[in-house]
Structure 1
Amino acid sequence: MVLAMSVASEWLDPQLTPVLVCVIVLAVFGTTVLFVAGVVAYSRRRTVRYLLITVVLGLLVVRSVTGLGTVLGLVPMTVHHLVEHGFDFLIAVLVLYAVYRSGASNNAVSIDSDD
């Protein structure tokens, strides 16, 4: 843990390290729970939309674990940036593709007015 604190202290205020670790641990736990829920939902529905959402949730777990590994000094900052920002792009693409696939099957567009 001393190594982790010395690595983290290079880019993080040591007073904030416990808060950051706590937040990231909660993120790992939360995204893992959501991923498990996604796997259960996919196993029941077995559609491409559910598969895409499950993959996105899995990528969020990997992002959170990568962040925790970075704070603990196990993942170099370069790898952190490559994984996290690369997954940001991949998550955006997969979510947009899922939305695209779930759009209306006809060409008619309906826009409801708030007036």
Structure 2
Amino acid sequence: MAGRSVAALLAALLIAAGAGWAQDVTRYLRLEWEVSQGRRGHAVVSGYLYNDYGLPAVRVQLRVEVLDASGQTVSETTAYIDREVPPLGRAYFEASLPRAGAGYRVTVNYFDWLMIPGSG
């Protein structure tokens, strides 16, 4: 019985942590991007990730999806921001896409807050 309670508590904590992370993304990180044609004729997504929070964001991964006319994902790639996104600042990103599409979607797939000693 105690094992089930611990497992249920851990599951609830993981769900809460995931919900908090998702809230952090939409509340503190925002994307501004555009699609253009690259040198080799491939579509390229480029733009900025803005950090509206008081801590640096690091290890940022973006999911870049290529959509068909019905809005379904037909291809995707991962773009990495290989530097710190400063508090109340921004960082540039660029991703070459494997194919063109009717539409595109860019979302934050993963990030960490860089904890600064004495900040919390």
TM-score, normalising length: structure 1: 0.31
Higher relative contact order (CA 8 A, sep 6+): 1
Which is richer in strand? 2
If you compute each CA radius of gyration, which structure gives the higher value, 1 or 2? 1
